[in-house]
Structure 1
């Protein structure tokens, strides 16, 4: 059942990204261009996502002892801000700013069969593997 729920959530996420235009790197880059032709549409998408997330999160913290389709909630146990977190955030932000795309929209863009997206996904996977190798050594 968890896989079915994950599939449904992923399809919904992909549909939402596509409808909102967040799979278009130029829209994302325009949002990041605060000193130029700034496009605030990404902020509206984020606010819409938070409007759905916050009530569900608060409900889960106050009214639910466990999720409907799982034995327990999977919540983070760490709250510290350490060097690997900061370095990873900077590298992620640089990649997002340079390409205008992040992993979720990239995966949603695979359906368009664009070779640039395939290149991005391959580079992302190589980066993830390399980071994991560095992390474990």
Structure 2
């Protein structure tokens, strides 16, 4: 049952990316091109999609807090507080740089594979190689945990 629910959520997410146009790198790059504000070429639609996602997530978390237990599980699994290590500090930075350069991130990249674009296929292959390399590097290096503050 859990796999089917995850599949349905993934399909809904993919359809949302397709309908909003967020699976095309040009859409994201047109949002990130702030110089285009003066020329009228700037596309604020990514901000609107993100605002909609934040609104849905906010409502979902508010509803979840009112429940005694999750709908499809026995109990909630809250994340434990963590210290910031090198992976947490560098991972989002690398993700953001890659997103800004390529105009696409992992979720939309998999959706965009359906377009049959060789550039997207190359991106996904490079992403998978990068993920494997990151796992190998993480398993070899000791954790460089740095506590920011308590």
TM-score, normalization by structure 2: 0.83
Distance 2:34 2:78 in 1: 33
1:51 has 2:51 as partner? no
Mean alpha-carbon deviation: is it higher for 67-76 or for 14-23? Answer: 67-76
Q: Which runs of 5+ in 1 are unaligned?
A: none
Structure 1 SS opposite 2:125: helix
**Which one of 73, 77, 81 corresponds to residue 80 of structure 2?**
77
**Which one of 104, 108, 111 corresponds to residue 111 of structure 2?**
108
1:90 has 2:93 as partner? yes
Matching residue of 1:24: 24
Distance 1:75 1:118, change over 3 A: farther
Distance 2:81 2:42 in 1: 35
Deviation >6 Å, runs of 4+: none
- Give the drift of 1:79: 4.7
Structure 1 SS opposite 2:35: coil
- Give the drift of 1:71: 2.7
TM-score, normalization by structure 1: 0.91
* Contact preservation (8 Å) 1:23, 1:109: yes
Q: Which runs of 5+ in 2 are unaligned?
A: 141-150
Q: Would you say how many aligned residue pairs link Structure 1 and Structure 2?
A: 136
Question: Of the two, which has the highest radius of gyration?
Answer: 2
